[in-house]
Amino acid sequence: MAEMDTISILKAQPQSTASGNKQALISLSEKNDLAFLGNSLQILGYRIVSFGGTTLALENAWVSTTKVEQLTCFPKILDGHVKTLHPNIQGGILPRRDQKHHMEALNEHGIGTFDVVVVNLYPFYDKVSSRGIEFEDEIET
């Protein structure tokens, strides 16, 4: 699929377990078995939300994805380092579903919940040390 050129400024449609829609947020730096994971979640009825290289890898494995930008109505910035720091993402991860006021706030703002979050962090230390740069110097850049 082609990279999005523009992002429409429309309020995201709420997607939540309460409405019968299941969502999974996936962001992996190590993508071994990603196709299997994505296909399995899709078969189980999950809407998969992802970004960057994870989206590309899932699309290459014929797994349908929703780009995180479609939920945030905001493009990635700072070379892609800022993508998920947005209420439509964080709000979907953090609610206590047993707290009625949490769920009401999500519904009021059109924020859906994430039922599954699959993340492995970028191997920062390994990457830095492989380039011969002192760790303390690299974290300052």
List the CATH number of the domain containing 88. Answer: 3.40.50.1380
Do 34 and 12 contact (CB within 8 A), yes or no? no
State the Cα–Cα distance between residues 123 and 90, nearest whole angstrom.
22
Tell whether 80 is covered by a domain.
yes
Q: Which domain holds residue 96?
A: 19-138
Closest residue by Cα to residue 73 from 13, 137, 141: 13
Tell whether 4 is covered by a domain.
no
Closest residue by Cα to residue 117 from 92, 81, 85: 92
- Tally of domains within the chain: 1
Structure tokens at 42: 């899709």
What phi-psi label fits residue 92: left (phi over 0), alpha (psi between -120 and 50 degrees) or beta? alpha
Q: What is the pTM of this model?
A: 0.73
pLDDT in tens, 41-81: 999 999 999 988 899 999 999 999 999 888 888 887 777 66
Tell whether 1 is covered by a domain.
no
135 confidence band (pLDDT: 50, 70, 90): low
Tell whether 10 is covered by a domain.
no
